[in-house]
Structure 1
Amino acid sequence: MIGTIVYKLTKDAPIDKIKGTPFAAHYANHGKSPFPHNAAGVPWTATFINSKDDPIADLHEDMAAEQKARATYEHLIKLSDDPGVIDALKFLREREVVHYQRFGETLRIVEEYMNMKKHY
């Protein structure tokens, strides 16, 4: 989503508006194409996905990821002065909050199930 927002904001930007900005490094490697990387330019890889084959640990990891995404959206909102971008980021931030809540509810259900006495 963020890549799409950046693309829409930069697709028609002339090169003289790109030179000397933080976006110039991205442009040098990828042009104006969306390319998933963090703010430091580190490309996204599957190593960002964590799984322990333990539902409790995995749900905690999911919840942490939602909070990290929420914090990133909040930082981006503070950096933006475009009302349309801010509205989109607010929507995405709220979506992360709801995801966090749903993972929390799922965690409680899984913990209850794992702690209940099993009858065979």
Structure 2
Amino acid sequence: MFRHTKLLQCEAKPDGPDAVLARKIQELIGGAWGEMTVATQYLFQGWNCRIEGKYKDLIMDTATEEIGHVEMLATMVARLLENAPATDVAHAVTDPAVAATMGGMDVQQAIVGGGGAQLRDSNGVPWSGAYMVASGNLLADFRTNVAAESQGRLQTARIYNMTDDPGVKEMLKFNLARDTVHQKQWMRAIEELKADGIEGDIVPDDLLDVEDQVHNNTIWQLSDGGSGPSGGWSHGENAIDYLTDPEPLGGPGTAPKPDPELYASYAGGQNALGTAKGKAQQAAEKLR
């Protein structure tokens, strides 16, 4: 059961209209790394979690918070679009959709959203559930969560530097702080999974004795850059061997002959096609 509290987690009041900024903030709502992604990602991770207790509670606490972040950003977008577009060129245009576009507003914010936020990114591309990850493996998911919060904070920081609006900056300061603590909590949770003996370093912590033992500790140098072997990953304890001149292990990647009726080009294709036509003609003659 979810309850909605009619108060924002953080205030979302810009000092004035800014259609261009409203469009940028759409990325933080419906982009691949936006709040809708982490909200649904954490919700499904929590719903799919088989371990009752601290891990599931942490996931669900954060998931529910992220729903509030979507509401906060959507409110900010709507308020930024109030009385927007606010440019001389836009005021000179009578058609509202054209005015919105020339003023920098996402035209769908005007036509579809009626001056409100959309479940889209900053280019108007619809948000997709394919952005979210909920694998059922907590170690794999928590690592994905660290990456999601890192990318989200990176984009928030970039937008923070794109505006001088004090009200927007105050909200973004809060968002930055929450993205910081969420990165920290998932990294700590990863260590706790290991300490509790639930997961190891490798996902999944299985079939390690079955996998190819020759190739589970080598890095193949396959680019022109030659500095890879100087990294700490190839020195000291638990070093990974760097193969500076790896050889291919398989033969040519030649595809097999296709079904003649698919008409794919290949050597000797005419003969094969002719044979297929001949068989079809023979079959037709038998039916007469």
Question: What's the TM-score bracket when you normalise by the shorter of the two chains?
Answer: 0.7 to 0.9
**Per chain length, whose mean CA-contact separation is higher, i.e. which structure has more relative contact order (CA < 8 Å, sep 6+)?**
1
- 2:107 is the counterpart of 1:25: yes
TM-score w.r.t. the length of structure 2 is 0.37
Larger Rg, first or second structure (1 or 2): 2
The aligned counterpart of 1:64 is: 147
Letter in 1 for 2:102: G
Q: Which amino acid aligns with 2:80?
A: L
C-alpha displacement of 1:6: 1.3
Where does the alignment leave 5 or more consecutive residues of structure 1 unmatched? Answer: none
Match of 1:6 in 2: 77
TM-score norm. by structure 1 comes to: 0.83
Of stretches 28-37 and 63-72 in structure 1, the one that deviates more from structure 2 is: 28-37
Tell me if 1:96 matches 2:167.
no
The amino acid that maps onto 1:62 is: N
The answer on 1:107 being equivalent to 2:186 is: no
Moved more, 21-30 or 102-111: 21-30
Q: Which residue of 2 aligns with 1:81?
A: 164
RMSD: 2.1
Q: Aligned partner of 2:167: which letter?
A: G
Structure 1 residue 19 displacement after superposition:
4.0
Paired AA for residue 109 in structure 1: E
State the alpha-carbon separation in 1 of the partners of residues 130 and 76 from structure 2.
Answer: 24
- Kept in 2, the 8 Å contact 1:3–1:36? The answer is no
Per-residue deviation at 1:58? 0.3
Q: Report deviation, 1:43.
A: 1.7
The DSSP-based 3-state class of the residue aligned with 2:198 is helix
User: What is the Cα deviation at residue 46 of structure 1?
Assistant: 2.1
- For residues 103 and 84 of structure 2, the distance between their equivalents in structure 1, rounded to whole angstroms, comes to 12
Deviation beyond 4 Å, 4+ runs, structure 1: none
Counterpart pick for 1:53 among 136, 150, 156 = 136
- Equivalent-residue separation in structure 1 for 2:168 and 2:189 (angstroms): 32
Letter of the 1:41 partner, please give it: G
Larger relative helix fraction = 1
C-alpha distance in structure 2 between counterparts of 1:62 and 1:42, whole Å: 23
Shift of 1:24: 4.0
Offset from partner CA, 1:62-86 (integer Å, 9 cap, x none): 1111111101111111111101101
Alpha-carbon offset, residue 108 of structure 1: 0.5
Counterpart of 2:121? 38
Aligned with 2:172: secondary structure?
A: helix
